[in-house]
Every structure is written in structure tokens, then in C-alpha cells.
Amino acid sequence: MAGTSIVSEFTKGFGRENPTFVQVLGMCPTLAVTTSVANGLGMGLATLFVLFFSVLITVIIKKIVPDGVRMAVYTVVIATFVTIADMFLRAYVPPISKALGPYVPLIVVNCIILGRIEAFATRNTAGRSLVDALGMGAGFTASLIILGAIREILGSGKLLGFQLLGSGFHPLLVMVLPAGAFLTLGLLMAIFNAVKDRDSFVVVEGR
């Protein structure tokens, strides 16, 4: 990764290494909370916060953490920041906190975070790792917003609470139900593949 520029370190989270559509990581929150744009944004930003600060702590302590217990140490670091994020949401944006419910604590086991720490932060310089964390977090947030927007528009005819489609539109209830979540993500992933296909075809393997 030494040859890549800082800018591409950031933008790869949106395109070729997008955590949702390309790496297929962090599926649980992706599917569960994207019934609306607001929820998707809330979850995305909470994950971004946890990812950034966990990586920050990681790059500080990585030299003194023994190899055998590094997973346990990093997981506790992540859990601490998730607790902070959860308390913050509960105190300042109660409606979002309520809508996200038990999915906020689930950020602890979001494979994107441990994945970035393990695969990137422990092997790269501090600056690069932080830019990578920001890019991945932002790319994840963008994916959640896209999913949330599609499901909210088709499922209720609204976007961020505003009536978008006319009264003649019959809301597709299935879109806000679990089946709609799987379907939307599956189709988006296929579109993502098809677009990538024009350059070079890579099969997205499930994790």
C-alpha cells in the first residue's frame, strides 16, 4: 500500500474497497437499520466514530500489545468506544437511539472495525491508518444512506419524512420488511458488480 496516495487511501472506501458492496462486511447493521435514511445515517456515523477512535488508540498502543492477546485488547477498545457512542446517542438523539436499539451495541462485533484494525492499522503508519478509517467509515455511511433512501422511498413514498411520491403511489410495504432489505442489497450488489465488470471482472465472494 506504500505507493498509493493519501487521497486514494480515502476514496477506496467508496469504490473498489467499499465495505458493503465489495467486501460484504458489516452486513447485520447494513440490513437491519436501513429502513430509512435517518437511521442509516445515524448508524453510519456511529460506526465511523467508533472506527476512527478505535484505530487511533490502536496505532498508539500497537507496539506494546503482545501478539497473543491483541484480538482481546482491540475488542475491548472497540467495546469502550461503542459504549460511549451508545450513551451519546441516547442522550442527544433519543429517537435515533430508539430506532437503532440493540444494533448500536452490535457495532462491537462489526467486522469492518476489527478488519480495518487487523488488516490495515497494525501494518501501516498512523496517518495512513486514520485516513483509511475515515474513508472506510464514510464509504460505509454512504452505502447505508443509499440503501436507506431506496427502502424509504419505495417502502413509504417519503424521503427524510417528506412526501416524495404522489398520492397515487402505493407504498411497497415489503421494502421496509426484512425481505426488502435482503432484496435491495442483493440487487445493489449485482449492479455494483456489473459496473465493475466493465473494467475487470471480480466475483464478490460471500464472507
Partner 1 sequence: MSLLLIAIAAVVVNNFVLTYFVGICPFIGVSKKIDAALSMGIAVTFVMTLTSIVTWVITDVILNKLNMPYLEYVAYIVVIASLVQLVEMFIKKTSPSLYKALGIYLPLITTNCAVLFVALLQAMRNYNLVQATVFGFSAGVGFTLAIVIMAGIREQLEMADVPRPFRGAAITLVTASILALAFMGFSGLIAA
- Show the CA angle centred on residue 164, arms to residues 161 and 170, nearest 5°: 100
**Interaction of residue 66 with partner 1, rule CB under 8 A:** no
Residue closer to partner 1 (CB basis): 126 or 189: 189
128 and 9 Cβ atoms separated by less than 8 Å: yes
- CA–CA dist 133, 32 (Å, integer): 23
- The cell for 89 is 446517542
Here the cell at position 164 is 416524495
Site for partner 1 (CB under 8 A): which residue of 56, 65, 99, 111?
111
Q: How many CA atoms lie within 13 A of 77 on its CB side?
A: 24
- What's the N-to-C CA distance of the chain in angstroms? 23
Name which of 33 and 55 has its Cβ closer to partner 1.
33
Identify the residue among 60, 76, 119, 160 touching partner 1 (CB under 8 A): 76
Scanning 23-31, 42-50, 141-149, 155-163 for contacts with partner 1 by CB under 8 A, the matching segment is 23-31
Footprint of partner 1 on this chain (CB under 8 A)?
24-25, 27-28, 31-32, 71-72, 75-76, 79-80, 82-83, 86-87, 102, 105-106, 108-111, 114, 174, 177-183, 185-187, 189-191, 193-194, 197, 201, 203-207
